[in-house]
Amino acid sequence: MLATIKSNNTTYTIDLLKPLDISIVLTDTSSNPLAWYIEKPKISPVQLGDWVGKVSQGAAVNFNNISFNPHAHGTHTECLGHITNAFYSINDAVSTFFFIAEIITITPTLIGEDHVLSLEDISRKLNNTKAQAVIIRTLPNTGDKTSRKYSNTNWPYLDDKAAAFLRDLGVQHLLIDLPSVDKEKDDGALLAHKAFWNIPKAPRKEATITEFIYVPDTIKDGPYVLNLQVAPFENDAAPSRPVLYKIA
């Protein structure tokens, strides 16, 4: 099923029957990825007196409660309300859902004890792209990213100068295969978040950051159409399902 999308006076054709899902499945098992020092999600049947919401225990339906944290438990999209005193909702930040995107693959640079996604590497890969969204895959790109326990690992992070560069290019949506664009322990500096959202100078209310994605090696670098599906939560962040389509 072919569809056309027009952006900046250019028409792109995609096959809607060939989606490339780059989200990570949320489960209540030990295979769920974790960050920010909390335990795995909980999915359990409702119990009301003697009634248990589970077909195998006699109920007519399965009726589960789910407890999770969008930032710590998997693929999520966040808006500037993540780091502002004023409330901003991700449900207001994203009002259209298809974007021209560019995938780039970066090997972080070792600086002291940190692995950093540098301005030099980001700028060289993008070559002044006009993409509305940029998707960053980091190397090494092993399959355990979908189940890795990131707490206390000092994961790689995006240099704030690189984040500012993406902002100045006009990139509205930044996606990355790490729990955060920022350093795990930075005493609350959040330099990359602030640079990308242009806080406090001129906050970008419609810009988003999506973290905890996974881009398999079978998906090559280059241009795609991104369908950014975000659960309609009134919160700074919500679970999301970014889906890519090759451009015909």
For 162-180, what is each residue's pLDDT tens digit? 999 999 999 999 999 999 9
> Which pLDDT band, with edges at 50, 70 and 90, does 128 fall under?
confident
CATH topology of domain 2-27+70-246: Glucose Oxidase; domain 1 (3.50.30)
**Distance of alpha carbon 134 from alpha carbon 231, whole angstroms:** 20
Taking only the tens place, the pLDDT of each residue in 58-89 is: 999 999 999 999 999 999 999 999 999 999 99
**Which pLDDT value is given to residue 248?**
87
Taking only the tens place, the pLDDT of each residue in 80-114 is: 999 999 999 999 999 999 999 999 999 999 999 99
Domain residue extents for the chain:
2-27+70-246
Share of the chain above pLDDT 90, in %: 93
* DSSP per-residue string spanning 123-168: HHHHSS---SEEEEEESS--GGGGT-B-TTS---EE-HHHHHHHHH
Share of the chain above pLDDT 70, in %: 100
Tell me how far the alpha carbon of residue 171 is from its chain's centroid: 14
